[in-house]
Amino acid sequence: MTRRPSPLLVDGVAVAMALLDVWAHWDIDEPVRMACALAAAVALLLRRPQPLLTFLLTLPAVLLSDSVFACLAALYTLASLSRPRALLVVCALAFAVSDTTSLPSPQLDLTRTPTLIALGYSSATAAAAVFLGQLVRTRRDLSLRLAEISEARDHQQLLTAQAVLAKERAQLAREMHDVVSHQVSLIAVRAGALQVGAGDPDTRQAAATIRRLSVQTLDELRHMVGVLRASSGHPTELTPQPALSDIRRLADNCGIRTELRMALPEGLPPTVQRAVYRTVQEALTNTRKHAPGATAHIDLSHADGAVRVRVTNTAPTQPPLPLPGAHHGLLGLRQRAELLGGTMTSGPTSDGGYELCVVLPAQDTR
DSSP string, 115-141: HHHHHHHHHHHHHHHHHHHHHHHHHHH
Beta strands in 104-235 (DSSP E): none
Among 211-225, 242-256, 340-354, where is mean pLDDT lowest? Answer: 211-225
Q: How far apart are CA 309 and CA 261, in angstroms?
A: 10
Residue type, 42: V
Query: Would you tell me the crossing angle of helices 31-43 and 7-24 to the nearest 10 degrees?
Result: 170
What is the rounded average pLDDT of the residues 83-104?
82
pLDDT of residue 308: 94
Band the pLDDT of 235: cuts 50, 70, 90.
very low
Q: How far apart are CA 134 and CA 233, in angstroms?
A: 44
Q: Specify the higher pLDDT residue, 360 or 66.
A: 360
Asked whether residue 232 carries a pLDDT value surpassing 50, the answer given is: no
> Three-state SS for 38?
helix
Backbone angles phi, psi at 296, to 5 degrees: -100, 135
pTM for the model stands at 0.45
pLDDT of residue 300: 94
Which of 17-26, 44-53, 228-237 is the most confident on average?
A: 44-53
Asked whether residue 364 carries a pLDDT value surpassing 70, the answer given is: no
Asked whether residue 237 carries a pLDDT value surpassing 50, the answer given is: no
Band the pLDDT of 298: cuts 50, 70, 90.
very high
Backbone angles phi, psi at 65, to 5 degrees: -140, 180
Band the pLDDT of 255: cuts 50, 70, 90.
confident
Which DSSP string do the residues of 160-215 spell out, in sequence order? HHHHHHHHHHHHHHHHHIIIIIHHHHHHHHHHHHHHHH--SHHHHHHHHHHHHHHH
> Three-state SS for 261?
strand
Mean pLDDT (the chain) is: 81
pLDDT of residue 356: 94
